[in-house]
Each structure stands twice: as C-alpha cells, then as structure tokens.
Structure 1
Amino acid sequence: MTENPGILLTILAFVLVIGPLVFIHELGHYFVGRWFGVHAEAFSIGFGREIFGWTDRRGTRWKVGWMPLGGYVRFAGDMSPASEPTEEWKALPLGERSRTFQAKPVWQRALIVLAGPVTNFLFALIVLAGFAMAYGQSQTPPVVERLVAGSAAEKGGLRIGDRIAAINGRGMETFDDIAGFVLYRPDELVQVDIVRGGVAQRVAIETGVRIEKDRFGNAYRLGVLGIYSPQMVILPVSVLEAPGVAVERTGKILTTMVDTLGQVITGRRSAKELGGPLKIAQVSGEQANRGIEDFIFFVALISINLGFINLLPVPMLDGGHLLFYAIEAIRRKPVGAAAQEWAFRSGLLVLLTLMIFVTFNDLSSFKVWERLSGLIG
C-alpha cells in the first residue's frame, strides 16, 4: 500500500502533471498554426478567470486561468465549437481573413489539429527514450523457470522449461510481455501457444486473480499465471537504438489502453475502474512520493493517454475535428453547419456526462459517499 503523500504534495504533483502536458499539447497546435500563417489570438493554460498573462508582439494573449484542468489556443477565425465560417468571419477584410484558421485548406487545418496529440506522443517518446538509455531494455526470455503450486499455470498444464510464444495470438517476445498481457485479464480463459521440447502446442488456461487494495480500501483485480521468469536479462540501449525502443514501448502502452477500454465497453471490466481528475491527482501524489523517476514515467504515461483520448473521433475532441475534416476532404465541401452544430453539442453532452461519471467514481473510491451517509445517519 502506497504511503499517503499528503494533500499539499498531491495538489502540487497534479498541477505539475496536467499543467506542462496541456501546455505542450496546445504548443503543438500553436506552432503548426503559426507555421501555416494563422494568427493565435489567445493561448491559455487553464479555464475561467485569468490569473495573470501578457500579450506578445504578435498580438497573442498568453494567460493562466484559475482552473488548471485544461487549456486552449484560440486562432483567429475559429469562432465556434465546430470551427465553421460565420458571418463575422466573412465580413473580415481579405488580408485579415487570410490569417484566420478557416481561410486555410483542409489539410492544413487537419495538421494544426493533429499537432496537439502528436506533441504529447513526442514528449512521451523523449522520456521513454531517456529511460531506455538510463536503465536498458529487458530481454528476459518468455520461459517458465518455476511454477507456483496450485497456480493457474500449473492447473492449465504449463511445465518448467516451456517457452510461451503467444497468448490469444499476440506474440510474447519477453517475459515482461507475458506479465503485461495477463495483468489486465483476471479470471479470463486465454489460449497460450507454447514450445515444449521443440514442439509447438496450445493450451487453454484460466488466469488467476490477485487482489490489491489502495489506501482507501478499494480492491483491484489483477490477472496472474503463477510462473517465475529466468534470471533477468537487461541489455544496454544506445542513443541510436533508444528511439526505436521508445516507439515500441509507446505502442505497447497504447495497445494496453485499447484493450482495457474494450474490456470496459464489453463489460469484462467494471466501469467503476474509470478514473477522472481526482484519481489522476491521487496517483500523481503517490508517484511523486515514490521518487522523481516514477513521477516522470507517470507524466509520460499520462501524456500518451492524453494524446490517445484526444484522437478519439468524438466531437469537441481533436479526433472529432479530424473526422469532419476527413469527410470534408472526401466530399470536397464541409459538413453542413447544422449537422456540425448538432454533433458538437452532442459531443459536449457526452463529455460532460463522462466527466460527471468519472468524478462520481473518484469520489466513491475515496469513500466520500460512505462518509456522508454515516454523517447523515
């Protein structure tokens, strides 16, 4: 169980996670927009009333809002949630209109929008590349060294010396791949391809369950096989190899995100496990309490998460804009203003509903409702 980091460290850690990640996300939008000649009217970290800010020589207002749960870049001409041309935009002088977001061709607008999530991924790649050079890469072979008595692996027929080649058709190159795949599949029947004595075989194993609890008493079900690895093999990673290792690790993290999201959608995992800002704040404090390396890795993980979520084809997110731009490129004309407005209003409703839901989950995980019911009772 992680030691309580305290409320002040938790708040500080949360700000140090969200603030820089929002900043680099919006900075991606800003620089690509500037590259294409689009004027940025405002660059804000946080929402709500401005705490402080300044205006640069290009006329961009840089400011910090009192609520540090996001941020935005407002480009000239981007006058509605759907980024559609308005009568106000059409009335602008030609020279001024040419510096607006809507005056740019669809491929430039798409690249400006795409730049935010891409910048989040690039940040994570830099961090993971640094970790790879500092700590090396695990190449421990996916071989069963020992079995836990009565474990899922033993019951499923695995033997010492078996090499696990794949699980559910996904290749297992290292022992870490096995642990990472099984961890999010508790009590689930999986097909395990093994090589035993040079002969390929397939066995069906129902994974075991390990229960872990946080300091609030919330229980989490994690999958286990009950096998031990051979002696750990860590290989050094050169500067030239580091980017490739970082891309590989990012790909595995994204795969895990897609898998767990699919499990929630299909009901194999409880939607109660979805966390929001309060949960991120809690984990931010815990990771900061564990040390700078754990905290930096957590920031990289959240950066990947932020990039992934923003690419989902949901109106109001970057992915929703990209979807409309793709349709516009195919149709050779924008989606109708009424359809865009309806879609973005619906998207806003979905996001608000999701935010309320995950916040409710967060408060439940902190036992807030139990304490309130106790006070009322």
Structure 2
Amino acid sequence: MRAGCWRLSDPMQMPFALTAVLAFVLVLGPLVVLHELGHYLAGRLFGVRADAFSVGFGKELWGRTDKRGTRWKLSAIPLGGYVQFAGDMNAAGQADPALQGVDAQALKGTFPGARLWQRAIIVFAGPFANFLIAVAIFAAFAMAYGVRVTPPVIGGFAPQSAAQAAGLQVGDRITAIDGDRVDDFTQIARKVLLYPGKTITIAAERQGKPIVLPVTLASQVEKDGFGGSATKGMLGIASVKPELKPVGFGEALGVGVSDSVAAIKMTAIGLGQIITGDRSTKEMGGPVKIAQYSGQTMSLGWAAMVLFAATISINLAFINLLPIPVLDGGHLAMYAAEAVRRKPLDARSQEWAFRAGLAFVLALVLFVTFNDLASLSGIGS
C-alpha cells in the first residue's frame, strides 16, 4: 500500500469519498448536459425534432412535453444526460433500421432525413460546446484576475538541473525550443513536460548574444497523492518574478482560446505517447480518478473546481472526437465514408461498427477503472 492512499474500508476517509462522489457529479453532470445541449441546439437550427432531452439516465422522475413534441425530463441517475432525435433508435444515436428506404417526405424533421453536412454539424456541436465552455472559463478567469506574464528568463536552477548541466546560466532568455518561438515562461513547460529523456535544442540570448545548446531533459516521476504517478520531462529551471497584467474582453477571449487549444494539444500528445509505448498505460485515469481529483479540487475552493471543470470539458471534447463508433468522432468518420461513397453504409455495417465501438469503449472503461483501483490499493507498487 502506498503511503497516502485512501481505502473505502477506512471510516476516517469516508467523508472524502462522499465529497469526491458529490464533486464528480457536480463537475461531470453539467458538462455532459451542456454537451448534449450543443447537439440539441444544432439540431433545432436545422429543423430536426428531438423526441427527448434527459438530464440524467434511467427512470424518469419528472418530465414535461413542449409544443415541439420534445419530452424534457429529469432522470434518476445524475451522471449527465442525453438527447434523442427523431429517427434515432436509442439515446446513443444509432439510426433506426426501420427508416431504411423510407422516402424523403417521411424522413422530414428526423435526424436521418437531414442533409449529410447538417448531420455532421449536429454531431460536432456537442464536442464544440465543451470546447466553448473551456474557452469561457479560461477567459472569465483572465478577465477577473488578469493574465500572469512571466518572461522566459532563467531566474534560478533546481538541484541537478538538466539546463544548468547543458551550460545555460541565470539571466539567459530562452527564445525558442526546437525551433518553436518562446515568448512566455509557461510555454517552456508545454514544450518539456511530456518529453522526459528527450534531447531538445534551446535557443537563448545571453547579454544580447544568441546561443544554441542541446539539452537532455531529466525524467521525474510525480505522484498525485492518490497512488497514481506520471513521468514528466524537467529542465530544472526557475522563472523570474511574474507580473499580473489586466486584460480586456478581446484579449481575455484570445487567452481562453489559446489555453484551450494548448490543452487539447497536450492531451493529444499524451495519448499518442501511450499508443506508441513512450508513456505507460498506468498513467491513464478513469471515473474513479476523476472523482478523486474532483473531491480534491472541491476542497481547494470554487475557483480550483471551476478550472478543473474546464480541463474535464476539454477532455470530453477531445475524447468524443476520437473516430470510435458510438462516439461523436465515430459518427463523423461514417459521414466522411458516406461522402466518399456517395451513399451511407448499409444497416448491417453500421450495426457491426456500433457493436465494435461499444465493446471497445466498455473495455477501455474497465481498463482505466482497474488502473484507478490498482493505484488505490497499491497493486504493482
């Protein structure tokens, strides 16, 4: 058992477990509902009827039907929700095979009856809604607190610093890493954290003169306090004192977009490293780990929790765009195939793709949940 891990059997830790569950619901639930609202609003824009919009899953606790025929309801399991369009066989968006071969007039107002580009926009609108949520949160924090501006100047070194060993000195201003321009100290972290052990090329200015040095990044295993760990690349440098710069709406919006795009890039790179074997699959987390982090950030206050929600929203957008059937990205991949073939996949092919995608997603959920539980119990430590 790793020190610091909590066990569900430990009564002293039960308050945190309850807090984690509550925080998990408060963070993930609204983000999924807003994701589905993105689908709904895009569908409504193109005249596609929604049979149901549910906040939560399972048994209906309360509901009403609006004048458009949409059943709005609250359901028993408060873990997100779903929208089911006319013509969908189920809440997962699987097309009703009974509509195969039906004429265009009968399909009017249904999801299968929408044009291909309209269906693609409706599907994309869900992940895009999650992206916009993250942009709004990051922009709001920039407006409220200002933007921390830290010049990329070395203010000090950590013990056994890779940068110092390579010949960099206090006062050097880093101008580029591997040819990519660096304007702020935060950009340095994005260039090194995901690349432990990699040799990078750093361009810098020293007393007005340019220098270029190769630096082999150190590897550091950081534990998260819940039994999990991640290997990070480290330069071993400290920044000079940062300044808080007030920003207006336009600049804050730009910060929100750039921070959200940077988060997506980091997520994509990390996943790619796991797929290629450059990073351990043990670093993948699932629902249990998200609940743990949710509980931890909730204890730090509302600001930390809202910023954590922005990170989860970005991850929801990214994961849903993966080309896996049953996910939004899988639907978009099938629409791309339909555009190339100039006709949709037959019902049997769609059914098999849906089953394969569902099996893959379930297997992945089981795998990451096992990872979470293993880190809790100290398996493999």
SS at match of 2:20: helix
Q: 2:9 is matched with which residue?
A: none
Amino-acid identity (%): 49
CA 1:93 to 1:183, structure 2 compared with 1: closer, same or farther past 3 Å?
A: closer
Gaps of 5+ in 1: 371-377
Shift of 1:67: 3.5
Pair 1:324 & 2:334 matched = yes
Q: Say if 1:2 and 1:286, in contact at 8 Å, map to a contact too.
A: no
Q: Say if 1:82 and 1:341, in contact at 8 Å, map to a contact too.
A: no
CA RMSD between the two structures: 2.6
Shift of 1:85: 5.8
Pair 1:27 & 2:32 matched = no
For residue 352 of structure 2, what is the amino acid of its counterpart?
Answer: W
Q: 1:161 is matched with which residue?
A: 171
Pair 1:71 & 2:81 matched = yes
CA 1:89 to 1:291, structure 2 compared with 1: closer, same or farther past 3 Å?
A: same
For 1:167 and 1:136, the matched residues in 2 are separated by: 27
Q: Say if 2:97 and 2:347, in contact at 8 Å, map to a contact too.
A: no
For 1:233 and 1:226, the matched residues in 2 are separated by: 21
Shift of 1:7: 2.0
Q: 2:97 is matched with which residue?
A: 86
SS at match of 1:46: strand
Q: Say if 1:133 and 1:239, in contact at 8 Å, map to a contact too.
A: yes
Pair 1:17 & 2:27 matched = yes
For 2:126 and 2:253, the matched residues in 1 are separated by: 20
Pair 1:50 & 2:60 matched = yes
Equivalent pairs counted in the alignment come to 370
Q: Give the alignment partner of residue 113 of structure 1, picking from 123, 127, 130.
A: 123
For residue 87 of structure 1, what is the amino acid of its counterpart?
Answer: A
For 2:203 and 2:287, the matched residues in 1 are separated by: 40
* Segment of structure 1 superposing worse, 171-180 or 97-106: 171-180
For 1:10 and 1:83, the matched residues in 2 are separated by: 33
Q: 1:234 is matched with which residue?
A: 244
Q: Say if 2:84 and 2:93, in contact at 8 Å, map to a contact too.
A: no
SS at match of 1:102: coil
For 1:82 and 1:55, the matched residues in 2 are separated by: 20
For 1:317 and 1:301, the matched residues in 2 are separated by: 19
Q: Say if 1:151 and 1:225, in contact at 8 Å, map to a contact too.
A: yes
Shift of 1:210: 3.7
For residue 98 of structure 2, what is the amino acid of its counterpart?
Answer: E
Gaps of 5+ in 2: 7-12
* Segment of structure 1 superposing worse, 254-263 or 140-149: 140-149
Shift of 1:286: 0.4
Pair 1:60 & 2:70 matched = yes
For 2:86 and 2:225, the matched residues in 1 are separated by: 48
Q: 2:375 is matched with which residue?
A: 365
Q: TM-score, normalised by structure 2?
A: 0.89
* Segment of structure 1 superposing worse, 175-184 or 248-257: 175-184
Q: TM-score, normalised by structure 1?
A: 0.90
Q: 1:175 is matched with which residue?
A: 185
SS at match of 2:112: helix
For residue 64 of structure 1, what is the amino acid of its counterpart?
Answer: L
CA 1:2 to 1:300, structure 2 compared with 1: closer, same or farther past 3 Å?
A: farther
